[in-house]
């Protein structure tokens, strides 16, 4: 029987195979995404992450692999560059092409962009078409509350970058907990990305290159559970402890609940956390997160 981990992670892994450290070519990333959608772990697969500038390349590679209507389309999350207005127009044209009968079914109704001030948030989100759900990546090195409030005011969602391919790209546990707290207080859904392809906090290689240096990464399980338990009243100090947790033995999984050091999340609480809190995490690998969960016995 599936454990309560399934609703915690259902449709949660946004596939970012095009990006470091994997850095796959488009043909390989598209082929792998198609395989994952048809595989036994499709329940955990989220969106395909692609820059708007590479949508044409994606169209060509997905022509024979993406489903035909009326099958469920491939859901894309499109990364915006500096020319927001032109890119949104291109995105709308892309969606119109793929809404036509007989076209490969691709849908790019989510965009992601960066902003480091309230003014930038307002400029980015004002005038976006209603069919677009925007995620705004904000810095974690200062109090995110003003930016979170601005994002919420526009009906958008927040995004946190939790790592990278260098050790200095990773925020502190305190900074990440502060972001989770601010989003929870504002009732703002959010996603996380970068350095999250392992379930638990530990030291890992920063890239897949031979001889890669190592760094301490966050685990996606730590982040999802911290977000869910903050919603249940977890304190900031406890949230930081959970984000730093490295021991698989500290977690218990059953069909009814997930437990961590005396804290319990029943399945309905897990579902509530996903509905109004953490939505997804971006990962350049889909197989690695699930393989490591199986090695833990969590699935």
Q: What is the pLDDT of residue 2?
A: 81
pLDDT of residue 70: 61
CB burial of residue 168 (10 Å; 0-12, 13-18, 19+): exposed
- Distance CA(51)–CA(196), nearest Å, equals 20
Question: Which uninterrupted H or E stretch holds 78?
Answer: strand 74-79
What is the domain count for the chain? 1
Q: What is the DSSP letter of 104?
A: B
Identify the domain containing residue 55 by its residue range: 5-296
- CATH classification at residue 183: 3.20.20.70
Examine residue 21 and say whether the peptide bond preceding it is cis (omega within 30 degrees of 0): yes
The predicted model scores a pTM of 0.94
DSSP state of 213: -
Structure tokens at 128: 């976006």
Q: Which runs of E-coded beta strand occur in 115-201?
A: 133-137, 157-161, 190-193
- Tell me what pLDDT residue 103 has: 61
| Residue the block writes with tokens 């820059």 | 51
204 bridge partner residues: 215
HEC assignment per residue over 12-32:
CEEECCCCCCCCCCHHHHHHH
- Record the tokens describing residue 185, joined without a space: 């207080």
- Sign of torsion, CA 70 76 81 85? positive
In the predicted model, residues of the chain with pLDDT beneath 70 are: 1, 68-70, 100-104
Distance, in Å, from the CA atom of 177 to the CA atom of 183, rounded to the nearest integer, reads 10
The pLDDT score that the predictor gives to residue 104 is: 60
Token readout for 42 is: 């499709």
The count of C-alpha atoms lying within 13 angstroms of the C-alpha of 266, restricted to the half-sphere facing its C-beta, is 1
Q: What is the DSSP letter of 285?
A: -
Tell me, what's the pLDDT at 69? Answer: 62
């Amino acid at each position: 029987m599936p454990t309560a981990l399934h609703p915690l992670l259902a449709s949660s892994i946004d596939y970012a195979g095009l990006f470091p450290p994997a850095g796959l070519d488009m043909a390989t990333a598209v082929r792998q995404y198609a395989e994952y959608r048809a595989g036994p772990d499709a329940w955990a697969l989220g969106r395909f992450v692609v820059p708007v500038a590479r949508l044409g390349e994606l169209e060509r590679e997905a022509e024979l692999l993406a489903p035909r209507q009326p099958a469920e389309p491939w859901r894309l999350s499109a990364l915006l560059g500096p020319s927001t207005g032109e890119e949104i127009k291109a995105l709308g044209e892309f969606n119109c092409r793929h809404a036509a009968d007989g076209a490969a079914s691709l849908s790019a109704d989510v965009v992601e962009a960066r902003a480091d001030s309230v003014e930038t948030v307002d400029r980015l989100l004002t005038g976006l078409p209603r069919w677009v759900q925007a995620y705004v990546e904000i810095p974690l090195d200062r109090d995110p509350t003003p930016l979170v409030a601005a994002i919420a005011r526009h009906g958008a969602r927040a995004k946190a970058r939790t790592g990278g391919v260098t050790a200095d790209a990773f925020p502190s546990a305190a900074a990440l907990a502060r972001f989770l707290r601010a989003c929870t207080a504002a009732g703002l859904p959010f996603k996380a990305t970068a350095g999250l392809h392992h379930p638990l906090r530990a030291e890992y290689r920063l890239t897949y290159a031979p001889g890669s240096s190592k760094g301490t990464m966050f685990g996606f399980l730590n982040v999802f559970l911290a977000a869910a338990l903050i919603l249940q009243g977890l304190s900031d100090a406890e949230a930081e402890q959970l984000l730093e947790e490295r021991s698989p033995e500290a977690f218990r999984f059953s069909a009814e609940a997930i437990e961590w050091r005396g804290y319990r999340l029943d399945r309905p609480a897990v579902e509530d956390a996903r509905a109004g809190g953490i939505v997804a995490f971006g990962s350049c690998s889909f197989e690695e997160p699930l393989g490591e969960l199986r090695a833990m016995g969590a699935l």
